[in-house]
């Protein structure tokens, strides 16, 4: 619980230091205070959840390990882990200064209603009617266009995975998709729909990657209060997702590869030539189940080489991949684990780095070959 004092007078800084030094809350009081400042109870379970700050799936854990409202997000700091105490969490979620927060807490006053209303803290949700969810997902899929050579979805994938040789997938479509945030429609963007199927073939959900309408990149979507929103989201869940995947390609000679993300598995395909499926995230990767009837005997597991989680001392992506490998081997499958060479990267990063290095080398060779010889006077 420290501050640089930036922007504070000497007197304010001294007061803040005194208050921080003596500040202590019970575990119950921490939960209450965090919830009062818009950090919903679903984030405070002690288990991995979405992050209330950056919005990323399955990367945030509140553990109160030191009794200070402690938490960690595995990718909150430009893709690197970030950890802090409860006060830092409140200031990040609410985008307020620590001095202002401590003045409010010192006075015993609740957070202003106007700011609390803006906090990204979803309340309990009523479970949607399955018939409605099925109609919605099937309608979205029906209205979207099958992926085609040269369309925006393929141009986006070629930008992320240079020289991608994969043909359009029957599990991907391109459509104009609504983006809703806190029950408000922000607009429509073109986007990739990925059909996530369970081992028995039933639809689980449609994963959406919102795209910029002009250039081959993810869309930049900003809420009314200036929050940068996630361009990758699942839609409603029709059936529990454990065990499933987006089946991008057909198995070849009894082999298939699985990984966490769309671009990641396409990068892995370019690295190895193995046909690939996308499990969406590391938790679902660890729960993947090989479908029956497809003749699959060998499973390649393409792991993200995440930075080490300070709490567990493990790379979350590698731990999830190895848990899957262990289970599938026990079930009688041949398993081949794969991990990128550089920590903090996935296979899309690795392939792009390999392509960039190869491209630059080719340019250097071409320039050297095309240099005109210097005339020598006789």
Residue 226 has pLDDT above 80, yes or no: no
Residue ranges making up the domain that contains 16: 10-116
The model's pLDDT over 156-177, given as tens digits with 9 standing for 90+, comes to 999 999 999 999 999 999 999 9
Least-confidence region, from 120-134, 196-210, 219-233, 271-285: 120-134
Per-residue confidence band for 374, with pLDDT thresholds at 50, 70 and 90: very low
Least confident piece of the model among 35-39, 163-167, 215-219, 321-325: 35-39
Q: Tell me the pLDDT tens digit for each residue of 60-107.
A: 899 988 888 998 888 776 667 888 898 989 888 887 788 888 888 876
Indicate if 307 and 227 belong to the same structural domain: no
pLDDT at 118: 46
On whether both 224 and 259 belong to a single domain, the answer is: no
More confident residue, 177 or 362: 177
Q: Which of 100, 51, 96, 99 is nearest to 77 (CA)?
A: 51
Q: Where are the alpha helices (DSSP H) in 144-286?
A: 152-160, 262-272, 282-286
Domain at 329, CATH number: 3.40.1360
pLDDT above 90: residue 259: yes
* In-domain check, residue 123: no
- Please indicate, yes or no, if residue 203 is contained in any of the structural domains: no
- In this structure, the answer to whether residues 104 and 171 fall within a common structural domain is no
Q: Is the pLDDT of residue 375 over 50?
A: no
Cα–Cα dist 211/228, whole Å:
14
pLDDT at 123: 41
**Helix 98-107 to helix 10-21 angle, to the nearest 10 degrees?**
60
Same domain, 226 and 248: no
Where does a domain end: 86, 116, 146? 116
For residue 364, tell me if it sits in a domain. yes
Name the band, by pLDDT with cuts 50, 70 and 90, for residue 297: very high
Weakest mean pLDDT among 19-23, 104-108, 269-273:
104-108
Residues 231 and 252 in one domain: no
Q: Which of 235, 270, 293 is the last residue of a domain?
A: 235
Last residue of a domain, one of 57, 81, 116: 116
In which band, very low, low, confident or very high, does the pLDDT at 321 lie, cut at 50, 70 and 90?
very high
Same domain, 264 and 347: yes
State the average pLDDT over residues 111-121: 46
Shared-domain flag, residues 85 and 134: no
Give pLDDT, residue 366: 62
With a cut of 70, say whether residue 360 has pLDDT above it: no
Strand-strand pairing, 255-259 and 298-302: parallel
More confident residue, 22 or 149: 149
Q: Above 90 in pLDDT, residue 5?
A: no
Residues 62 and 112 in one domain: yes
Higher-pLDDT residue of 304 and 46 is 304
Percent of the chain with pLDDT over 90: 52
Select from 139, 87, 128, 96 the least CA-distant residue to 115.
96
> What 3-state class would DSSP assign to 151?
coil
Domains in the chain, number: 3
Domain membership of residue 121 (yes or no) is: no
| Residue 187 is assigned to a structural domain of this protein | yes
User: Is 200 domain-assigned?
Assistant: no
138 and 216, same domain (yes or no): yes
Residue 300 has pLDDT above 60, yes or no: yes
Which pairs from 83-88 meet CB under 8 Å and 24+ separation?
A: 83/310, 85/1, 86/25, 86/30, 86/33, 86/34, 87/1, 87/20, 87/23, 88/1
Res 260: pLDDT: 94
Tell me, yes or no, whether 42 lies in a domain: yes
User: For residues 158 and 142, what is the distance between their CA atoms, to the nearest angstrom?
Assistant: 25
Please check whether residue 321 lies inside any domain of the structure.
Answer: yes
The rounded mean pLDDT for the chain is 85
Q: Which two tokens stand for residue 43?
A: 């984030």
Statement to judge: residues 247 and 333 lie in one domain: yes
**pTM for the structure as a whole:** 0.66
Instruction: Identify whether residues 277 and 221 lie together within a single domain.
Output: no
DSSP 305-356: BPPPPTTTSS-HHHHHHHHHHHHHHHTT-EEEEE--SSTTB-HHHHHHHHHH
Q: Tell me which residue of 246, 87, 268 sits closest to 165, measured CA to CA.
A: 268
pLDDT of residue 378 exceeding 80, the answer is no
Distance CA 298, CA 222 (A): 43
Q: Do residues 221 and 247 share a domain?
A: no
């Amino acid at each position: 619980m420290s501050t640089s004092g930036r922007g504070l007078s000497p007197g304010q800084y001294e007061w803040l230091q005194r208050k921080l030094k003596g500040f202590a809350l019970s575990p119950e009081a921490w939960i209450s205070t965090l919830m009062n400042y818009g950090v919903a109870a679903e984030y405070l379970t002690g288990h991995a959840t979405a992050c209330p700050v950056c919005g990323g799936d399955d990367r945030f854990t509140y553990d109160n390990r030191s009794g200070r409202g402690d938490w960690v997000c595995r990718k909150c700091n430009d893709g690197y882990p970030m950890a802090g105490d409860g006060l830092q969490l409140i200031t990040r979620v609410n985008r307020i200064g620590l001095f202002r927060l401590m003045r409010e807490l010192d006075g015993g006053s609740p957070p202003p209603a106007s700011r609390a209303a803006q906090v990204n803290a979803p309340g309990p949700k009523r479970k949607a009617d399955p018939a409605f969810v099925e109609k919605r997902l099937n309608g979205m899929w029906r209205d979207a266009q099958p992926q085609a050579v040269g369309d925006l979805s393929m141009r986006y994938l070629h930008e992320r995975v240079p020289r991608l040789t994969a043909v359009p997938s029957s599990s991907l479509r391109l459509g104009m998709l609504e983006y809703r945030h806190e029950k408000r429609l922000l607009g429509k963007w073109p986007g990739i729909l990925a059909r996530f199927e369970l081992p028995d073939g039933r639809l689980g959900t449609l994963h959406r990657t919102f795209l910029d309408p002009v250039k081959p990149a993810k869309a930049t979507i900003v809420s009314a209060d200036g929050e940068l929103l996630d361009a990758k989201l699942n839609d409603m869940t029709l059936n529990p997702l454990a065990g499933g995947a987006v089946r991008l390609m057909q198995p070849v000679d009894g082999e298939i590869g699985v990984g966490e993300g769309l671009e990641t598995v396409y990068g892995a395909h370019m690295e190895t030539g193995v046909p690939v499926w996308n499990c969406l995230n590391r938790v679902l990767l660890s729960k993947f189940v090989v479908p029956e009837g497809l003749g699959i005997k060998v499973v390649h597991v393409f792991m993200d080489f995440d930075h080490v989680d300070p709490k567990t001392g493990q790379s979350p992506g590698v731990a999830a991949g190895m848990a899957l490998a262990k289970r599938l081997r026990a079930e009688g499958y041949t398993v081949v684990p794969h991990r990128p060479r550089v920590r903090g990267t996935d296979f899309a990063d690795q392939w792009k780095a390999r392509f960039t290095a190869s491209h630059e080398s080719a340019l250097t060779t071409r320039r050297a070959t095309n240099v005109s010889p210097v005339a020598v006077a006789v």
